[in-house]
Amino acid sequence: MNITQHIERGAQFFPHKTALIFEEKAFTYGELNELANRVTNGLRYLGIKCGDRIALFLPNIPEFVITYLAILKRGAVVVSVNSMLKSDEVRFILNDSEAVAVVTTESLREQIPHRDLAFLKNVLIAEGETYTDISLSTLLEKGSADFKAVSMEPKAPAAIVYTSGTTGFPKGATLSHGNVCSNMHSVKHSCKIHSDDKLLLFLPLFHCFGQNFILNGGLNAGATIILQRRFKPEDVLRAVQNHGVTMLFGVPTVFLRLLEMGVSQSDFNSVRYYFSAAAKISVDLVCQWQEFCGKLIYEGYGLTETSPFACYNHDLRYKLGSIGMPIENVEMKVVNEAGNELECGEVGELLIRGPNVMLGYWNRTTETQKVLDNGWFRTGDLGKMDEDNYFYIVDRLKDMINVSGFKVYPSEVEKVILEHPSVVEAAVYGMSDRLKGEVVNANIVLKPSKFASAEDLKSFCAQRIANYKVPHTFRFVDSIPKNATGKVLKRVLCQQ
């Protein structure tokens, strides 16, 4: 088994069919497979072995797809690094994963430290000037076009996708070849992706949604992927019209932004299917979209730890407001604090079990044991099930903020703010936002006789953490509300 058997199958049976379109360039299945083979053989020259970790610190460009496939073909492990992260965050992930190489661009290279990287041996530049690093194009030139993907055990690690951690440090969800292969087959089946479909991909490839659901799901179906660097509403419209996009995947913010542009139904004549995930979509938005174009926005639910697809609304009967039912071969249940399964209508924590559930958190045995119990993954989401076995998200157990589908843990942001010499206390919490779902806010207590402005703190944070984690608002207060045991009362902060 190897995830990349999908591209090899495409290269064998329809080598001249377009697999990937990016800006003005198109790649057939045969060409994409050949490019991946050349990079794979180039990696062998660098001494990359089966099981080695290689980080991809890249934006949405074809080189991400090519090197992703090449790494997996070799039997090495892809480490996805959020391209919005800053130097300290990147250092932590490279060291934690023990990555021996990283593929990046000239512009992102400045966020890769030159020191304190214990395992890193090679930096490969995929776009821009190389300077003292290795050019990815050099590997392409040196490598042979022939390579057959290494056969891997289903439980062999394939990808480590980092998520923010409750302790303030990211955790690497380790996904196996079996996890991803199972998930991409479920995507193809549930969403009914056909080989003549054209899937628009502007969601970040470093994220599990873009990487597994859209990219791998599309390649597995023999479809065409139209890749964009980022989400821009005007670029989406242009791609739909120029390429005849048939399937549009997004987070709720995407659909809201498109509606606010004043688009017309005719702009989306070619699109037969819409899908939203990564954040809860409101019933109002689904109804607005259906009124606008006469089609539903289908909804998926899952987490990075579930590869990500776990629940779908729905290939047979859609229920407004629900996340649907578990996909094939996956089980879900609702339990109370003692772990006992609850009856229909009762609210408790959602648990998931199936071939999509991760191997565990990389080098995090204790944290893995906290969330995995006899194959059941504790999602940290509160939900309920109705009499038809449809599930609904109610709230979250985890102290997590969801900014346009990106997870932000308050403790991680608080840790950074508290490094500022003028701050003695910080409490970070989420507040509802019409466009992003939630935004990050912070209440700040300054040290006596010290001063800092909101702009000072915003700049301080922006140098250390990704922009979406930087608080939208800094509120300076005399004290932060706590309970008798000293725990910050986040609900009180939100109410205030």
CATH of the domain at 266: 3.40.50.12780
Same structural domain, 349 and 259: yes
Give the pLDDT of residue 492: 82
Same structural domain, 30 and 105: yes
CB 113 within 8 A of CB 120: no
pTM of the model: 0.90
Give the domain range for residue 288: 189-396
Same structural domain, 328 and 450: no
Helical pair 454-462 and 410-417, crossing angle rounded to 10 deg: 110
CB 97 within 8 A of CB 160: yes
Helical pair 233-243 and 252-260, crossing angle rounded to 10 deg: 90
Same structural domain, 485 and 385: no
Establish if 173 belongs to a structural domain: no
Same structural domain, 353 and 244: yes
Domain termination site, one of 396, 417, 433:
396
Same structural domain, 351 and 204: yes
Same structural domain, 378 and 441: no
Establish if 107 belongs to a structural domain: yes
Give the pLDDT of residue 466: 95
Cα separation, 78 vs 70, whole angstroms: 10
Domain termination site, one of 378, 396, 414:
396
Cα separation, 334 vs 344, whole angstroms: 9
Give the pLDDT of residue 486: 62
CB atoms within 10 A of CB 494: 12
- Residue (of 396, 470, 403) closest to 436 by Cα position: 403
CA 248 to chain centre: 17
- CATH code for position 137: 3.40.50.980
Establish if 184 belongs to a structural domain: no
- CATH code for position 443: 3.30.300.30
Q: For residue 389, give the DSSP letter.
A: S
Same structural domain, 111 and 204: no
Same structural domain, 390 and 471: no
Token digits for 162?
């980092």
Q: Provide the residue-wise pLDDT of the chain in tens; the chain has 496 residues.
A: 999 999 999 999 999 999 999 998 999 999 999 999 999 999 999 999 999 999 999 999 999 999 999 999 999 999 999 999 999 999 999 999 999 999 999 999 999 999 999 999 999 999 999 999 999 999 898 899 999 999 999 999 999 999 876 556 789 999 999 999 999 999 999 999 999 999 999 999 999 999 999 999 999 999 999 999 999 999 999 999 999 999 999 999 899 999 988 888 899 999 999 999 988 888 989 999 999 999 999 999 999 999 999 999 998 999 999 999 999 999 999 999 899 999 999 999 999 999 999 999 999 999 999 999 999 999 999 999 999 999 999 877 777 888 998 988 888 899 899 999 999 989 999 998 988 999 999 999 999 999 999 999 999 999 999 999 999 999 999 988 876 556 688 778 877 7
Establish if 169 belongs to a structural domain: no
Element (DSSP H or E) covering residue 247: strand 247-250
The residues, ordered by sequence, that sit 6+ positions from 483 with a Cβ below 8 Å of its Cβ are: 489
What is the identity of the amino acid at 484?
A
Domain termination site, one of 372, 396, 420:
396
Establish if 180 belongs to a structural domain: no
Q: Report how many domains make up the chain.
A: 3
What is 408-435 written as a DSSP string?
E-HHHHHHHHTTSTTEEEEEEEEEEETT
Establish if 38 belongs to a structural domain: yes
Same structural domain, 344 and 429: no
Give the pLDDT of residue 264: 87
Give the pLDDT of residue 482: 79
Element (DSSP H or E) covering residue 465: none
Establish if 177 belongs to a structural domain: no
Element (DSSP H or E) covering residue 88: helix 87-97
Same structural domain, 375 and 476: no
Same structural domain, 329 and 366: yes
What is the identity of the amino acid at 81?
V
Establish if 183 belongs to a structural domain: no
